[in-house]
Amino acid sequence: MHFRIAILFVMAGFLCQAQDMIPLPQQYEKNEGQLKVPGEVSVSASDEFAELIPGFIESARKFDVRVKERRKKGFIRLVRNSELTEAEEYRLHVGRKAIVVEAGAAPGCFYGLQSALQLIRNAGKGGWIACAEINDRPRYAWRGVMLDESRYFLGMDEVKTLLDLMAFQKLNKFHWHLTDVPGWRIEIKQYPLLATVGGKGNQSDPNAPVGYYTQAEIKEIVDYAGKRFIEVIPEIDMPGHATSAVRAYPEFSGGGSEKYPDFTFNPGKDGTYGFLTNVLKEVKDLFPSRYIHIGGDEVHFGNKQWKDLPEVKKLMQEQGLNSLVELERYFLNRMADSIQSMGKTVIGWDEVVAAGLSGSNTVAMWWRHDKPDLLKEALRKGYEVILTPRIPFYFDFVQHETHMQGRLWPGGIYVPIEAVYQFTDTVFTAENPEWAGQVKGIQANMWTDRIHSREGTQYLLYPRLSALAETAWTNENRKDKDDFLSRMEPMMTVYKKKGLYFFDYRNPSGTPEVK
């Protein structure tokens, strides 16, 4: 009788199993039997994991699952297992009466809960989950998303939605690009004009209303992310991409170029370093992350006026600097020393490798996909590296050949969901197998240069976020593009129920592009 019921549920599509999960777990073994989902799910925990229950109840409601706490023998049971020694590792047992999540630490338990939540949500109230054993751990420690709010300010609600969907799919690093040319988006109490003057405008409208996060709002988002085991890494751009900052405090401007006026900070003034150090001290107190990102890229866009500044000429003579490139490196090393003295680790774009920053306290983000030698140089020099190449991890690139809003690489190259999913790092680390240990992980960057609305951001982020999640979590020998796309059906339903404006790759002509 039970066998006949199981067959009926499989035929009707109600039997939920690992094939409905994103990202796919590393090991899945189906057992006989099914577990029925009750109308309201209860959760119980051993003492070590009890603190996770309130956050899980809150998160589950956001995904249409009603959850209540129970002291013992809940429908979901959280158990500490000291044999699981990796922080993000978990085991999940789906039995005929309950789901048991085992982990050695809170992050692993949290990810086990996300797997349980996906199975329950996809099965639905009164639905059935296949009995199974799951053993799971991430491929990469760094599974990141960068959001650029300098160029287009989105606000707290949109950020929290992104954090919810990141956690649901086991992404764990939120890189927050808060300062750049169009706008400064973080309150600094010692320099209030950074927000109130520097926060005016966006990429498409320099007269857009002021938009920035107060320090109280920053703390709220950092706390919100922390409860979802997401680390928030702030980026304060320097010495280039400084236009919004020097608009507020022009005494620190190093000038720019015809195309990029007031693009840089002035590297010849001691006051510039004091100003930025004071800014970073407040940033450090707001973000518990061990990292601060300082940008460090594309300085040549607007450093042409440096050579004409008398204080710069004096500094170059005193320090024996023979070129503007050497001056740029001097600036970056000096600011890196300030960050390191605060007990933080520097992250920069791959330009920081040439600047000679300490490999023991600097992480490089390789972004220039057309320059693999830069990645190899970073690895040879011993840097830890995060892979974030423009192709396929810049999500401002269009995702279909018919799209017009967004970037195309020369030759008409675009970034469909399949390209995100099929990315591999083995082509870069094959030369030296030891380099694989220096790759911390991967990250997608949601730049907003060509975005003029909340819907535009969503259209480019989703559903490619899901492909990123599985590429970051699941080992390559487990990945299969066609299988992934079939498992995307429940996640597409999630995006739809969230009210997001996403690109439906299944029907490209049916989802109008945001103008």
Write out the catalytic residue numbers. 180, 241, 298
Strands (E), 137-279: 142-148, 173-177, 231-238
Q: Give dist(CA 296, CA 363) in Å, integer.
A: 12
Q: What is the CA angle 55-57-62, rounded to 5?
A: 95
Lookup result for tokens 């000038």 = 255
Q: How far is CA 43 from CA 123, 126, 168, 173, in A?
A: 17, 17, 17, 27
Backbone angles phi, psi at 122, to 5 degrees: -70, -30
First to last CA, the chain: 56
Contact assessment for residue 212 and residue 202, using Cβ atoms and an 8 Å cutoff:
no
| Alpha helices (H) in 300-370, listed in sequence order | 310-319, 324-341, 351-354
Q: Give dist(CA 216, CA 236) in Å, integer.
A: 18
By the 10 Å C-beta count (0-12 exposed, 13-18 middle, 19+ buried), 48 is classed as middle
Q: Give dist(CA 336, CA 28) in Å, integer.
A: 45
Strands (E), 361-467: 362-366, 384-387, 439-446
Going by the DSSP 8-state scheme, the letter that residue 407 receives in this structure is B
* Letter string b/e over residues 198-217, b meaning 16 or more CB atoms within 10 A of that residue's CB: bbbbbbeeeebeebbbebee
Bridge partners (DSSP) of residue 145 are 174, 444
Q: Give dist(CA 168, CA 466) in Å, integer.
A: 10
Q: How far is CA 295 from CA 8, 59, 138, 242, 351, in A?
A: 56, 33, 27, 10, 9
Q: Give dist(CA 191, CA 196) in Å, integer.
A: 10
Q: Give dist(CA 138, CA 26) in Å, integer.
A: 8
State the pairing for strand pair 90-94/231-238: unpaired
State the pairing for strand pair 142-148/76-80: unpaired
